[in-house]
A and B are shown apart, each in its own frame.
Chain A
Amino acid sequence: DARVTQTPRDKVTEMGQEVTMRCQPILGHNTVFWYRQTMKQGLELLAYFRNRAPLDDSGMPKDRFSAEMPDATLATLKIQPSEPRDSAVYFCASGYLSLAGAYNEQFFGPGTRLTVL
């Protein structure tokens, strides 16, 4: 049963600490998205990658957030330093876009619930 996995599921940290969230996309998927969900802002895109190259990171605060794909099986989202306003649920999603333009749905992981005290 192929699925997107995210670790950790829950993270509580103190303001100023570094936080790293990891995502394993579904094997063979070439597109990875990071979304953030808060009560105030709802679901918003932070960044996304195709074939490991960043396509759009305009939703991400550049001074403290960074997103990378060290390899095709791992995506990371890092916050340094973390702030209380970063408290949210962070979702990773993956999908496959073929050369012919055929695309399946975005499959979402279970999310990482981040609490910054």
Chain B
Amino acid sequence: AQSVTQLGSHVSVSEGALVLLRCNYSSSVPPYLFWYVQYPNQGLQLLLKYTTGATLVKGINGFEAEFKKSETSFHLTKPSAHMSDAAEYFCAVSASAGNMLTFGGGTRLMVKP
């Protein structure tokens, strides 16, 4: 079974500041890991994913995440926040390709001018 914990349901940063959203997972098998973003009244859009290979994964909109097996973490970062980054972010884990996603509780990112 898989589970995901996102530390901090709300994160507030200033425009131009570093964004760090935390995700820890639990999985009985090597995990597939994902970050999705949800804007108000919209569906989820994939930011990035880790399946195998390089542990530092780059995604869209300048986001990246690093898979750290020893820490069971997959934290999302962006060097400089933009106002348009304000949204809800979900970390998710899957046991295999094409399998269901188990989501964390989400982190709402607020960006202050």
Q: Which residues of A are at the interface with B, using a C-beta cutoff of 8 A? A: 4, 31, 33, 35, 42-45, 48, 50, 56, 91, 93, 95, 97, 101-103, 105-111
Contact = CB atoms under 8 A, between A and B. Distances in A.
Contacts of A31: 98
Contacts of A91: 43-44
A42 B44 CA distance: 13
B46 interface: yes
B97 A105 contact: no
- Kindly state the interface size class of chain B when it binds its partner: 10 to 19
B70 interface: no
Interface of B: 34, 36, 41-46, 49, 90, 97-98, 100-106
B101 A106 contact: yes
B101 A45 contact: yes
B97 A103 contact: yes
B97 A102 contact: yes
9 contacts: A33-B100, A42-B106, A91-B44, A93-B44, A97-B97, A101-B98, A103-B97, A105-B49, A111-B42
A108 B98 contact: no
